Amino acid sequence: MRQNRFTLSAAFILIGAFLYAAASFTELAAIAAPVIVHELGHIVTLRLCGLPIRRFGADLRGLCIEYGGIATPGEHVLAALAGPVAGLAYAFAASWFGRRGGNEVLTLSAGVSLLLSLFNLLPVLPLDGGRVFSILVCERLGSRRGEKLSRAVGLTLSSLLLTAGTFLMWRGDGTALMLAALWLLVAQPEKAALVKRRELL
């Protein structure tokens, strides 16, 4: 039986429905553009490395790309970093054009892209930065010790972010950081190996 090339979870549908109800069209556009650019960064890099894309998925972790082929650790790292790098490039370009043309949607989109890219670079699984960190430490220390270190770093940073987010919420500065930290804690794999090396957010 042929595997579906695209899978969509119920949780992702609920999140999408909430965003659609809570945000305006311009806010949705400002969010969607950085996400698309981020994923295109992964896709283009995978194509350049000759790695076939097997499946697209959307679940509680977000949008995921599963790929195959034979890849070196360096190619895995490059594929993981491509999304945040593309997002940072988009952030600077959108900010420049937004300020130059007085376009508030572009300026907002630039801010979203910057935050998304920097957040994705955190060395916490299942983020792109966490994948890079896991690959590097596993290559350096071996799979078993590397996975333990990846999990320890992920849980520590997620807990610190949750503490900071709770403090900001208590001060009345919003709940975004707290919710992001809770998501990271929930998304933490029991073992780093459970997060496939050939899967990107």
The H-assigned helical ranges of 23-69 are: 25-48
Q: Tokens in use for 123?
A: 């060395």
Among residues 39, 75, 147, 190, which one is catalytic? 39
The identity of residue 174, as a single letter, is G
Point out which residues pair with 43 in neighbouring strands.
none
Query: Is 39 assigned a catalytic role?
Result: yes
Residues contacting 167, CB < 8 A, separation 6+: none
Give me the phi and psi of 53, to 5 degrees please.
-85, 125
Cα–Cα distance, 191 to 197 (Å, whole number): 12
In which element (H, E) is residue 52 found?
A: none
- Give me the half-sphere count of Cα atoms (radius 13 Å) on the Cβ side of residue 21: 6
Residues annotated as catalytic are: 39
